[in-house]
Homo-oligomer: A and B are copies of this chain.
Amino acid sequence: MNRSNDCATDRSIRTKSQPATGNPPPSADFLQLNIGDAPAGGRTDWLARQLRLAIADGRLPVGSRLPATRVLAAELRVSRGLITEAYQRLSEDGHVAGSGRNGTVVVAAPIPTRPEAPAGPPPRPLQPTPHLQTLPHPSALFTPTPGTDIFDTLRATPARIDLSPGVPDLAAFPRSAWLRAERTVLRKLPASAFGYGDPHGAPALRSAVADWLARNRGIRADPGGIVITAGTAQTLTLLGQVLHREGIRTVAVEDPGSLGARQHLRNCGLSTPPAPVDADGIRVDELRATGAPAVLLTPAHQFPTGVVLGGERRRELMRWATEHDGLIIEDDYDAEHRYDRAPVPALRSLLAEHVCYAGSVSKLLAPALRIGWVLAPPRYRDALVAAKRFADLGNAVLPQLVLAQLMESGALERQLRLLRGRHRRRRDAMIAAISAHLPDALVHGAAAGLHLTVTFDGGFRDTDLAAAALTRGVKVQPLSWHSQRPHRPGLVLGYAAPTTTDITEGLAILGTALRHM
């Protein structure tokens, strides 16, 4: 799979203007599509729009056939996934139908569309949050201190606009589908299922997760090897306990990398030496230098930089794991959300003996469900199940069965497609707003996920910027939360949960806050 072209432009995007490259951008005979016309980070959007226009203006009449995805991807030198995605969106709109061998056929012409109106209601007046006005040093809120949890503190702090990362579009939670699935489950459930469950998880969900991972993450897993947990936070704690009991005291982490994950490992008595992340992901030479026997990674969409672990790095990492009997903890937290790039196979699919894979529905449905899964290497499996048993005797049964029902019926894949469309539009709105209000910011990791990261050249502290934004009613996470080593100032901005109106207004406020730094 040739993704190198894709990644190079996505890794970091100057929002001002793209520097010209040596070769002319690839183009296709079909509709004279020229990929160079596509905005950075918005190519699926662009392709879908071009197709819609062509259908609307008669260039693609009803009954005509779109090129095979393989062919068009080769001509435009983009991933086949990008083409499939664009076709999928037209299919969801009802303009095209069919796929696979019979090809994709135009079935209805759309009413010509206008770009999404970003006008909305006039921006609300900028009133400082009263609670914070009284704080002498609001930036103290953003400085992690032992004994208090900064996430809890921030969550409890009111803000008009919340651009915290890590949450999908919660308004899209499929309430009716969930309730319907629960009714179906309750109708056929034997009474004994209300008793104490299996600490491994409900067999139905373990099967559904195995199927899901095979379909969506390229992982072939025996349901017997899957353990259901209360989300990745619990997975890390259980695994941390198991590793600690095995005598392991160190788990290397990416830098920058998730503060929350690091806190969970440290709470288990593990130290977390940082290994720097560059444009290809974790520096494996630096990982080797830590001497750690295990490492926590986010290979598909690194948190918070959004880079993809490159092919050579993957091979290097495999060598490290096999040579040192090392353990790779793969946190596949938002791998299903991608917009302008092909899917990245999970490390677990390549090296099951050395990879402990952690996933959850927090980014697919809702963090409030507290359901995740872990595939441990066989040597850790029994200890992990024992840890789960001691933690809580196993997840609640009913929500597991409802989720299994949603997975097996295809409802979760439909939800994912719905989310992709909604998230992509919000992502695009955020990039546009950054371009307008933070024109000197460098944008990272916008090709996938639920957040992007911006960095600045200025010599200020990003905790001060986050605090200034919060006094103006906008909640963001400073990049330094997630950095153990010195780093350029930056912000981690979630775009999946807030509306485009809030995104636009929030970025305008951030721009004002930045100008006052």
Chain A interface (Cβ within 8 Å of chain B)?
A: 149, 151-152, 155, 166-167, 170-171, 173, 175, 178-179, 182-183, 186, 189, 191-199, 229-231, 233-234, 237, 263-264, 267, 365-371, 386, 389-399, 497
Contact = CB atoms under 8 A, between A and B. Distances in A.
Contact of A393 (B178, B179, B233): B233
A171 B190 CA distance: 8
A170 B199 contact: no
Contacts of A230: 230, 391-393, 396
A47 to B, nearest CB: 30
B237 A390 contact: yes
Nearest to A371: B396
B370 A395 contact: yes
A335 to B, nearest CB: 19
Contact of A397 (B192, B264, B368, B393): B368
Contact of A195 (B167, B389, B394): B167
Nearest to A266: B390
Contacts of A166: 196
Most chain-B Cβ atoms within 10 A of its Cβ — which of A173, A267, A392?
A392
A155 B369 contact: no
A498 to B, nearest CB: 11
Given A195-B167, A497-B195, A394 B366 contact: no
Nearest to A366: B194
A231 B393 contact: yes
B391 A391 contact: yes
Nearest to A390: B267
A261 to B, nearest CB: 12
A396 B396 contact: yes
Given A179-B183, A182-B179, A186-B179, A170 B152 contact: no
A216 B167 CA distance: 39
A368 B152 contact: no
A170 B186 contact: no
Given A152-B389, A179-B182, A230-B392, A367 B196 contact: yes
Contacts of A197: 367-368
